[in-house]
Amino acid sequence: MQKVYLDNAATTQVRASVIEKMQQALADCYGNPSSTHSFGRSAKTAIEKTRKIIAKYLNAHPSEIIFTSGGTEADNMILRCAVRDLGVKTIITSKIEHHAVLHTVEELEKEYGIAVHYVELDTYGNPKLDHLEQLLQKDETKKLVSLMHVNNEIGNITPIAIVADLCKKHHALFHSDTVQSLGHLPFDVQEIKADFLTAAAHKFHGPKGIGFAFVRRNSGLKPLLFGGSQERGFRAGTEAFHNIVGLEEAFVCAYENLQEERDQVLALKKYFIENLKLALPEVEYNGHSGDLEKSTYTLVNARLPFDQQKSLMLLFQLDMKGIACSKGSACQSGSDLGSHVLTQILSVEEMKKPSIRFSFSKYTTKEELDYVINELKLFAEN
């Protein structure tokens, strides 16, 4: 049976060079980075080198990069600390954010009694910027806006440079979940005036369990975890040195090969969109995912012309054929509630059709896409 992996928005295959660097780190550099002897110093030096490299690519200062266990921890840390430490009384977000943001905001509402407002969305799932500005002007409370850069289910790209400028204009803080964009799109924090960003290595061919937060200097945030003085006292706990080394290699490879790999994957997305439409003329693409200009090049969210009975068997049938894809965020796996993103932009009738997210990487081939399209066509005909 052929095996085809089209769930790269959930996680990506680790690059061979990343594995090699991590194995070397595990074997040869096992000292605790907080120890003062040579074993510890060599590990600490490598961690600071990684911090400087990431900062260079983002045009940030090294002190603004804080290593975390991934995007979820980074989102939680930023949102919780902003309310606790910075006097934030109002959070403005959208109903199609990742649950690492949505559930955190819900808990903060219960714990601290903050006000939460949701930006209205257009029919494609884009936040309405005029409504955002209305919310920013609503009252005089200290506000934080949290809007993701690239939606992990429908691939829409939010113009966060404009959002950041709106926030600055109205003296609000701005946090963006950039887990689906960092490593895939160029980023300059001097041009995009966000206060906080988040990243996860496993979204750009790095290891799981490691990511980072960008926290602009002099933000006023205080630690969420207490213990040792790691991460300049901002995040206690012995650093996952081997993962940080893997993060560095994946990040450098992503940006050194960005244009070449972006062109390659974009061509695959275009091919998939066009040929799936030929095989299943009634297919529709959710959000802006079928638009090569307005969505990320890494995914397509297709609404397939199958009835409810066929819909129930679709993912199972694809899995039986060796095809890995998803109904939406991997974090919702096993939930019967359906996609919280699609329920915000699709009608009740449209929700009856199965929507599948197909996400691509540099390892995806045209032959694999042909196989997937053919299997979908056969499924429709049987």
Active site residues per annotation: 331
- The DSSP output letter for 297 is T
Q: What span, in angstroms and rounded, lies between the C-alpha atoms of 266 and 360?
A: 9
CA distances to 93, 139, 142, 221, 330 from 85, in Å: 19, 20, 12, 6, 32
Structure tokens given for 62: 């090294």
Which position has the token pair 């009835």?
307
Written as one letter, the residue type at 348 is V
Structure tokens given for 134: 């209305």
Q: Determine the Cα angle at 323 with ends 321 and 329, to 5°.
A: 140
Which position has the token pair 């595990």?
26
- What dihedral do alpha carbons 274, 361, 64, 173 form, nearest 10°? 30
| DSSP bridge pairs for 323 | 4
CB neighbours of 358 closer than 8 A, spacing ≥ 6? 6, 272, 299, 300, 301, 302, 325, 372
Structure tokens given for 9: 């928005």
Q: Is the dihedral of CA 249, 301, 124, 75 positive or negative?
A: negative
- Beta strand segments in the chain, E: 4-5, 65-68, 90-93, 115-118, 143-146, 173-177, 196-200, 211-215, 284-285, 299-303, 323-324, 355-359
Q: What span, in angstroms and rounded, lies between the C-alpha atoms of 158 and 125?
A: 10
